[in-house]
Amino acid sequence: MKIKLYLLTCLFTPFFFAQAQRNCSTHEHHEKMLLEDANYRTARQQIEGFNKTQRSFKTEKTNTTIIQIPVVIHVLYNKFEDSLTDDQILSQIEVLNKDYQLLNDEVNSIPDEFTPVASGSNFRFVLATRKPDGVATNGIERKFTNKISFSDNNDMKYSLRGGADAWDATQYLNIWICRLNNNLLGYAQLPGGAAATDGVVINPIAFGTLGTAKYPYNKGRTATHEVGHWLNLAHIWGDKTDCKGDDLVEDTPPQSMPTYGMPKKQPSSCGHNSMYMNFMDYTDDAGMAMFTTGQVARMEKLFAEGGFRHSIISSKGLLLPDGKTATDNNIVNNECNSENNNDIRGKAKQLKGISLAYGKIDKSGKSEWFEFSNNKVQSNIYITLSELTADFDIALYNANGLLLTRSRRSGDKPEALKWNNAEVGNYYVRVYGYQGATSTNCFALQTQLSKVAFKTNEEEVLVNETEKPEDIKVLQSKVYPNPSSYAANFDVNLEEEGEVNIAIYDMVGAKIKSYNFNSLSGFNSLNIEFGDIQSGVYNLVAQSGDAKFKQRLIVSR
């Protein structure tokens, strides 16, 4: 079933401004799919039959069982501004988690009569860390499309139609972000439809809280609403206007129609006060606040044994990459707080091969210890410490605790050390503050092993240290995919025709590779081939005229 959300401009009276409204043709689309797709018709019957006999997921498990849902965001853009920043995407993930846990600020506005049934769920939405093929990912897929906008015919879900193919719907929640025709805000597919089209579609004007998100749909509630449909919720009024509509949830009051805008007083319908603040109604984003206990139970039943989305519980989408990628690359997002300080060698955090780990030292005299293994003869070790805001140093020890070498640089600039022709065995890395230095910010530690001998000499300064932040003009650019194996796309929007210079640096500032492109004014999509660049974490710096761009780049082979 496809649930469509539209923006309609309605002029009420000369005394009112034209106001954008949500609208939906859920019922007719549902009926259409029931008529045209026998598999869907059967699946819907089975799902609803299962719901009637199934105890809630919380009853089957425990009230604290967390349901983690790996999310992949497919960003389809024809114009650069629709490529979305990572921050905008993360803002939407944050909204989803707050809304589904009843931690949003609007909870305080829920009327007293509905407070007893307001409920949080055990869902946690997390950007995927692993693709279906086992390769590392940040859960974001950006793709240029020749289509200016899409309709609700699912073209955005197929690469051959200008879209992006879905990831395995039994393992991931697929969310497509793209411009939609007719001011369409978004739509979702209810459980039971085809796997190739399973997921949620959202217009960038209604996604997240930053960037392209526009009032009154700039609080991320379109995604909350649509994901609710993906989790088997109907509209609160049951998609009928005669008070006979049924959303199949006991604790939502009957309602004859959707609620629009921001009600200034309590609306009523069918002899009851309307639950207008429910996420499955149609108020503006700022007016939405809650799911009910019954809605949460209905959603969570999908994940019970035998439920339509039960397979997501065992998804590998949130595991570290395994197979070749797992042994060669690990992005370890360790919790970064003082309580987790591993201040003794015996409690060192375990790393594998090439790893990116995070830590924090916010107490004077404390350290962070890490451990990794070298299983190959004549391997070379290279370790970098970056994202520093204090004078931290690194030291390398063998399995017996003998100091082998330490970093030589000082201050809060990136640190690096090498140990070539290393013996087979375990090694320890200690991160510590020089003369007791501390910081409340996280540091990033990367370890690399290679047959090629490493060098730590700095060939070039990454950015002129005399430049003040206000003097630097930002180049409108994007690098994707990231992580990537052998090449990446560099999209840039230029004010005028000119040369684009791109350089890749290691974490201590040594230039690894450079590229020069002659580009036209407007949108340009450039291909960056990595060549012999080894797996690791780098900085990509681009410049055109006086505009600059810098971004972390992960090469994963």
Token pair in block for residue 546: 């006086």
- How many Cα atoms are found within 13 Å in the side-chain-facing hemisphere of 219? 16
The SS3 of residue 307 is coil
Q: Is 192 left (phi over 0), alpha (psi -120 to 50) or beta?
A: left
User: Which residues, other chains included, contact 31 with Cβ-Cβ below 8 Å and sequence gap of 6+?
Assistant: none
Distant-in-sequence, close-in-space partners of 494: CB < 8 Å, separation ≥ 6: 500, 519, 520, 521, 522, 524, 544
Considering the candidates 226, 368, 371, 415, report the single residue annotated as catalytic: 226
**CA 207/CA 240 separation, integer angstroms:** 28
C-alpha–C-alpha distance, residues 269 and 156, integer Å: 38
What 3-state class would DSSP assign to 200?
Answer: strand
> Annotated catalytic, 36?
no
Q: How many CB atoms lie within 10 A of CB 406?
A: 14
Q: Which of 19, 18, 20, 43 is nearest to 30 (CA)?
A: 43
Tokens of 502: 């791109």
Long-range contacts of 362-365 (CB under 8 A, 24+ apart): 362/338, 362/438, 362/439, 362/440, 363/338, 363/438, 364/433, 364/436, 364/437, 364/438, 365/433, 365/436
Two structure tokens written together for 104 = 């949003």
User: Rounded to an integer, what distance in angstroms lies between the CA atom of residue 384 and that of residue 446?
Assistant: 5
Q: How far apart are CA 385 and CA 403, in angstroms?
A: 18
Q: Which two tokens stand for residue 43?
A: 């699946």
Whole-angstrom distance, CA of residue 332 vs CA of residue 407: 22
Both structure tokens of 88: 């905008």
Beta-ladder partners of 356: 331, 446
Query: Cα 50 vs. chain centroid, distance in angstroms?
Result: 31
Listed residue (308, 313, 315, 303) closest to 60, CA to CA: 303
HEC string of 248-271?
CCCCCCCCCCCCCECCCCCCEECC
Q: How far is CA 34 from CA 27, 30, 44, 137, 192, in A?
A: 10, 6, 9, 36, 11
R_g over Cα of the chain: 26
HEC per residue, 445-476: EEEEEECCCCCCCCCCCCCCCCCCHHHCEECC
The residues carrying an active-site annotation are: 226
